């Protein structure tokens, strides 16, 4: 009786025969050849090359819009300014939110290992600015190379990291594959895997399963994240629920002084609402609600901090168009005249302090359905002891929003009418605001510990190198 074998098993057998015959090149590149003999990586690689013309077009358009983008274009393809190789940790955080999640990990690691070298990569310029604003020169920043084999290999040759940490759910097949080939352990930290994302990954499960098999450690935020990751093919023994590092919010040591200064600029006796991380469509909703609230609270101030810097100017024009007297923080941070109704917070790295100086915080990305967003982190206002208001579109922060509501530290609104009702209630009741602020602080305190748990999983990988 002839035993049937799978195509994958036949490929392994073929490579074993070649290796046994001491064909040196094959022996040295067995992992790479096996990947090329399996269909998922072929399709993935083919898809990457097919979209390359679109990628180039996108880059050209960005350079036309912002010529400074050309300065670091080489980093996207594994080149860029020369740096001294050999980093203890390479941390990839795609944008601002992931940089925030990585911050306590990096800070605690460098506190315990002051001589260690850390490089952080991001995909977006806003993420890059956040790295520089947070860490200055204590870490090195580079843009992550696009997931083409040649770019990844160049980057690894230049950087030579000992361990790679991917923040949240950044699955890069070629980056992970080439790290595995070089015996660079890969960890995925602070994993947040929504049901929608898991369903998308299930469509390419053979590729995802192959990639996840090369990851040494998974640290998930919740039990649901752990379960979904396991259904995609991750080894259950490698998955650990650690909680979210975003609860580990470290405010500046002089936060009281900073918030006092900002509050003095706004005016101590006028109520202030800070709406942070807003997106297109949300500012219009906020301004309509603000106009209604002004009829009851004539000295009310609204501070709007758009999520993306390129929207500072359009939002300022929208405010003026709606008949409000406005001010730009980057231009004039002096004490505001009471005639100024709306301030545009067009500065970077200040949002946590602005929340701390507010009476009420509204967090955007959740007030209306926005494709690909699913809310933003609502924990900074909680850590500052300020009641937080957010919308129903919190798909990326389900656990955090659930805990916040259970702690009665915030309100989740359904629509514009609900927003008006909740803000009116909070503005009328300072005792309620103080009570909710205290509840938020307590919730943060009760959920700390994810950073130390995650580092306990990662340090053995580093020590083994």
**pTM of the entire predicted model:** 0.71
Q: What mean pLDDT, rounded, does the chain reach?
A: 89
**Quick check: 1 pLDDT over 80?**
no
CATH 3.40.50.1820 assigned to domain 255-446? The reply is no
Partner residues linked to 450 by β-bridges: none
CATH topology of domain 73-248+449-463: Rossmann fold (3.40.50)
d(CA 169, CA 405): 25
Q: What is the mean pLDDT of residues 115-126?
A: 94
SS3 277: strand
Q: What is the pLDDT of residue 90?
A: 99
Q: What is the mean pLDDT of residues 353-364?
A: 98
Beta strands, E only, 57-111: 87-92
Q: Where in the chain is the domain with CATH 3.40.50.11720?
A: 73-248+449-463
Structure token digits, residue 313: 């100017």
**Quick check: 6 pLDDT over 80?**
no
Residue-wise pLDDT tens digits, 390-447: 999 998 788 889 999 999 999 999 999 999 999 999 999 999 999 999 999 999 998 8
**Quick check: 13 pLDDT over 60?**
no
Residue-wise pLDDT tens digits, 39-86: 677 788 888 999 999 988 988 998 888 787 788 999 999 998 889 999
Q: What share of the chain is helix, strand, coil (3-state, %, to 5)?
A: 55, 15, 35
The distance in angstroms from the start CA to the end CA of the chain is: 47
**Quick check: 34 pLDDT over 70?**
no
Choose the catalytic residue: 75, 98, 283, 380: 98
With bands split at pLDDT 50, 70 and 90, how would you rate the model's confidence at 3? very low
Answer for the pair 277, 304: CB distance below 8 angstroms, yes or no. Answer: no
Q: What is the mean pLDDT of residues 275-297?
A: 97
84 belongs to the catalytic site? no
Q: Which of 221, 309, 327, 227 is nearest to 272 (CA)?
A: 327
SS3 365: coil
Instruction: Please state, in angstroms and as integers, the Cα–Cα distance from residue 91 to each residue in 104, 121, 155, following that order.
Output: 12, 6, 13
Q: What is the mean pLDDT of residues 317-323?
A: 96
């Amino acid at each position: 009786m002839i035993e049937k074998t799978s195509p994958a098993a036949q490929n392994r057998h073929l490579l074993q025969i070649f290796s046994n015959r001491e064909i040196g090149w094959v022996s040295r590149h067995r992992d790479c050849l096996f990947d090329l003999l399996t269909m998922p990586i072929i399709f993935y690689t083919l898809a990457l090359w097919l979209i390359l013309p679109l990628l180039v077009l996108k880059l050209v358009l960005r350079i036309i819009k912002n010529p400074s983008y050309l300065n670091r274009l080489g980093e996207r393809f594994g080149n860029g300014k020369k740096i001294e190789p050999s980093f203890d940790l390479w941390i990839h955080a795609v944008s601002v939110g992931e940089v925030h999640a990585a911050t306590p990990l990096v800070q605690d690691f460098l506190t315990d290992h002051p001589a260690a070298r850390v490089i952080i990569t991001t995909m977006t310029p806003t993420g890059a600015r956040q790295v520089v604003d947070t860490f200055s020169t204590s870490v090195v920043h580079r843009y992550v190379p696009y997931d083409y084999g040649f770019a990844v290999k160049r980057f690894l040759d230049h950087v030579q990291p000992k361990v790679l940490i991917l923040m949240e759910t950044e699955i890069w097949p070629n980056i992970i594959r080439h790290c595995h080939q070089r015996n660079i352990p890969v960890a995925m930290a602070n994993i947040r895997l929504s049901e929608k994302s898991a369903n998308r990954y299930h469509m390419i499960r053979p590729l995802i399963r192959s990639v996840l098999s090369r990851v040494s450690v998974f640290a998930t935020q919740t039990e649901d994240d752990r379960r979904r990751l396991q259904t995609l093919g991750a080894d259950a023994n490698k998955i650990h629920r650690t909680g979210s590092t975003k609860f580990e919010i470290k405010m500046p040591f002089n936060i009281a002084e900073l918030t006092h200064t900002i509050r003095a600029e706004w005016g101590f006796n006028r109520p202030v609402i800070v709406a942070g991380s807003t997106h297109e469509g949300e500012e219009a909703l906020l301004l309509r609600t603000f106009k209604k609230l002004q009829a009851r609270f004539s000295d009310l101030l609204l501070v709007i901090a758009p999520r993306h810097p390129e929207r500072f100017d359009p939002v300022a024009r929208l405010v003026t168009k709606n008949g409000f007297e406005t001010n730009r923080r980057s231009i004039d941070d002096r004490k505001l005249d009471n005639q100024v109704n709306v301030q545009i917070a067009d500065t970077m790295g200040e949002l946590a302090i602005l929340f701390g100086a507010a009476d009420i915080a509204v967090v955007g990305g959740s007030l209306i359905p926005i494709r690909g967003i699913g809310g933003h982190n609502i924990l900074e206002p909680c850590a500052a002891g300020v009641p937080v208001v957010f919308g129903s579109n919190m798909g990326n922060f389900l656990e955090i929003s659930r805990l916040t509501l259970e702690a009665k530290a915030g309100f989740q609104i359904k629509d514009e009418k609900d927003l008006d009702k909740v803000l009116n209630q909070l503005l009328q009741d300072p005792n309620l605001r103080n009570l909710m602020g205290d509840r938020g602080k307590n919730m943060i305190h009760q959920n700390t510990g994810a950073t130390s748990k995650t580092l306990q999983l990662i340090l053995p990988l580093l020590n083994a190198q």
